[in-house]
Chains A and B, each alone.
Chain A
């Protein structure tokens, strides 16, 4: 192998695949990054066996070849070198790569590429294009609601179901549910529903940062792996096997009380109250008061700690329906308000013990259902 590339490009590429490098592993070679010449480019791959990330950078290839080297070492080295041309070479039948950049020369001992776990490729299946920005938002708004507890594998994933011209992402951890609908540029031929680990999607979101071009999503025939193809990179993720709960029935169809408030203010009030809620289980109490003779409608956000004191924040609210009260876990409320980007949100409640619903106002692509905490009022 013999090639040259720019330090800047190699450093960026290593940063991208670095996310997939295994950290704690029983297979030491997965601590390495795979380097391979691929046409006129240099291909970098890494895998932790749950996901694999590959990216390509521009290079001038003089001699084809492939090898693996410790990812951390190479990344640290490259990032400390000047932004100049970099020459990589590997003598035949040797696992040592020579790396020259400016007046710096390094030798790194690697391992044979043949020992590296194969990076899955998905040849079959139809690639579905999904807008990069839109997917990024959808993942942000859904993945956080997945369970972190591994005992229910299905709930650690996000269900992606492609049907007609929409893909619906949904995640639930037993206490809350986040559903985001996303328009597809072209309808899919057949309905496909898979469960993608939330962790994989969060990695995908890092790759998606700043990419507007559509992502090509392909699911293999066995429904065991999904491929996300970006501009200069791709990610393959294992899929979670199992049946995702039928969540449609969990979304309340009506409500007794609906309050529309400014999202940023609601979030600020929640965070202020959360300071008092952090001892114990983080109870945030919400009280909705309709407009009346005494003034406009309002939403009161409060929390109290037995020994510390209490906090009450009020915001103006456009209330339809009756007065309402409900208590939520501060963490759940903060998280959903943080991922929304609409200016206003609606809080829909029916009773202190039935699920509360939070929707963005102005767009109809997202709904979040959160189960209240049962408290004494």
Chain B
């Protein structure tokens, strides 16, 4: 092989070293914006303007109205590890600023043409310095408003390798806009404005209200529907949690979670899992909540210095943080998951059609009425529709109940109750059923044997690849035992990585629940509705679909023009 003759080992020139190191901090234009925003925020800015041209490669401008930099410190700011934020490593433990390493400006200056114009309130004129790829090329004093304005031009112009990895200006701009909107959620009290390629793209109100900031990011409908999370710090639990989460009815097909730890945006598997667990049983699989959560805790409780871009943090007490976040979100979901309502028919001058557009109500129309109580009122069953829905009358209008979803919910709560009491109800089989399992089924069975047994599946090995099924959960009685176990195993395979007991409970609740298309007698419907009235969370099935829609008496009156 033609390897080149080994080169002698040398110490890199400081500039080269800076450029290479910059790669860790400055990956793409959006990371420049992030670093500059953090500096601005650390300087106490109330209003930050961001501009980008050519996807950030041609020009990035970040202007703030913060404290500015004193003239004699301006050039020092470009020196590596120059920072005003900490003085020693021990300060790191109590650092409340976003940055502290003193790497941002030098890193950016190493790979671009940077102009810094800054004025502290005490100065009459601003200080100006221009640095091209690490070299100061111009300095002086100029008039400017108080604050700091950093212009970054020709980013990566001298690093063709890095340039190659940049995406189209559109993509880079969308990353920038993500960064800015993220910070607007982190600092709802700061006004952010962003213009891309000369056009105003985003502006946050800076009113201090997280909901108003979210409104600019996610739009009116979503922002209105978001539920407020608030958990105060308590003794022995220094963690304060606040923010907004989506109601189950507004789940999204993609993960969309923003976590801010002491205002710092972080990616945290721990917190993501905590939120998802709070939604367990409320969401259809493949749906994710939208969450914007702020965690405030003493700096000593969290290590922010484990990732070059500070994208990850480590909590001192991970379990406590996890539990607190999960509880805070769950509490708000249990309190106020609003019942989907029948949306009023648009008033048209045409013959009315029979089809009622049954959709969850828009939050706007809900705003006037307080969210209904969690438990159901006593309902009177009127009949069955399309062999799938139960029509019932309550004190406040009509309820349409999805019989399958409702039965799932009832069964699910039975299973949960049995599990709580540690008493699974088990139905024996007259003759054991021999099950020939595929290798993957057998593996699943091996993996989850204990959990399956806890829920009432009695299995014993019976030669290679087969098992004898001797008993099954009583809730599945009356079904083909082998098929029921297979269906449960399939659900377990799909629910990999989730809480296994929960997956199993949902699976057992689903298989064997009355299906749509099954005619029910009045007695059966009454019984089902009675059980649903007793359920703790009657409005959603364990997959998260609504069990019912509600058409209020007032809505009926409106629809018939009585009011």
Contacts and interface: CB of A to CB of B under 8 A. Distances in A.
Interface of A: 147-149, 151-152, 172-177, 245, 250, 278-283, 306, 329, 353, 355, 369, 371-376
Nearest to B476: A281
A173 B426 contact: no
A175 B477 contact: yes
Contacts of A250: 430-431
Given A149-B480, A281-B475, A329-B474, A175 B418 contact: no
B428 interface: yes
A310 to B, nearest CB: 15
Contacts of B423: 375-376
Given A174-B430, A177-B430, A280-B418, A375 B425 contact: yes
B484 to A, nearest CB: 9
24 contacts: A147-B480, A148-B478, A149-B478, A151-B480, A174-B429, A174-B431, A174-B433, A175-B428, A175-B477, A176-B430, A278-B527, A279-B534, A280-B417, A281-B425, A281-B475, A283-B425, A283-B474, A355-B430, A371-B430, A372-B428, A373-B427, A373-B428, A374-B426, A374-B456
B418, B423, B477, most chain A CB atoms within 10 A: B477
Contacts of A176: 430
Contacts of B475: 281
Given A149-B479, A280-B417, A281-B427, 5 more contacts: A151-B479, A174-B429, A283-B474, A371-B427, A371-B429
B430 A279 contact: no
Interface centre among B421, B471, B527 (most CB of A within 10 A): B471
A340 B534 CA distance: 35
B427 A329 contact: yes
Nearest to A278: B527
- Ranked nearest first, the 8 interchain pairs of A and B with the lowest CB-CB distance are A281-B474, A371-B428, A374-B426, A151-B480, A281-B425, A371-B430, A151-B483, A152-B480
Given A174-B433, A245-B431, A306-B421, A375 B478 contact: no
A174 B483 CA distance: 13
A333 to B, nearest CB: 13
B203 interface: no
A306 B417 contact: yes
B481 interface: yes
B508 to A, nearest CB: 11
A176 B418 CA distance: 24
B296 interface: no
Contact of A280 (B414, B430, B458, B478): B414
Contacts of A148: 478
Nearest to A307: B534
Nearest to A148: B478
B475 to A, nearest CB: 6
A173 B429 CA distance: 9
A336 B483 CA distance: 26
A152 B456 CA distance: 22
A174 B471 CA distance: 10
B531 interface: yes
A375 B474 CA distance: 10
Contacts of A278: 527
B433 to A, nearest CB: 7
B141 to A, nearest CB: 79
